[in-house]
Structure 1
Amino acid sequence: MLNETEKWSSLEEIAEHLGVSKDTIRSWIKKDVIPHRRIGKLFKFRISEVDTWVDSGKSAKIK
């Protein structure tokens, strides 16, 4: 059995995955609503965490 770790996705990859602009992702990061990690100057995401966030309905409540 392999214990594969999910790879980290970039801001560009997560924007494409969600079908939104990079500026929208940056806005969500500023509001601290989208699950992310900061590694140095870069923001990284796990697609599974972002998908769970979307499925929870929390993404629809952003103003």
Structure 2
Amino acid sequence: MSNEIDKNITEKWVNLEDIAEYLSVSKDTVRTWMREGKLPVNKAGKRYKFKVSEVDEWVRKGKIKE
């Protein structure tokens, strides 16, 4: 359990601009995926944050094509 907590605490979070660059898509595409509920995203106050591991898993599962 402790290792799982440690991993979650140290895992990298990025903003919308960073995840768009990471996925090689426009910010508008990221916003569309967010609006459609396709892309895993977390809201922190007024900002949206993305956990890189969740986005990687989303891509691996082929959900980017849906």
Task: Tell me if both proteins adopt one fold, taking TM over 0.5 as the criterion.
Answer: yes
When the two chains are superposed, the root-mean-square deviation of aligned CA atoms in Å is 1.4
Percent of pairs with identical residues: 51
Deviations 1:21-48 (CA, angstroms, capped at 9, x unpaired): 0010011110011001011111100111
Q: Answer yes or no: is 1:13 the counterpart of 2:5.
A: no
Runs of at least 5 residues in structure 2 that lack an aligned partner in the other structure:
1-5
Q: Which residue of structure 1 aligns with residue 60 of structure 2?
A: 55
Higher percent of residues as helix? 2
TM-score (norm 1): 0.87
- SS in structure 1 opposite 2:43? strand
Unaligned runs of at least 5 residues, structure 1: none
Q: How many residues align?
A: 60
* Bigger strand share: 2
TM-score by length of 2: 0.83
| SS of equivalent residue, structure 1 residue 45 | strand
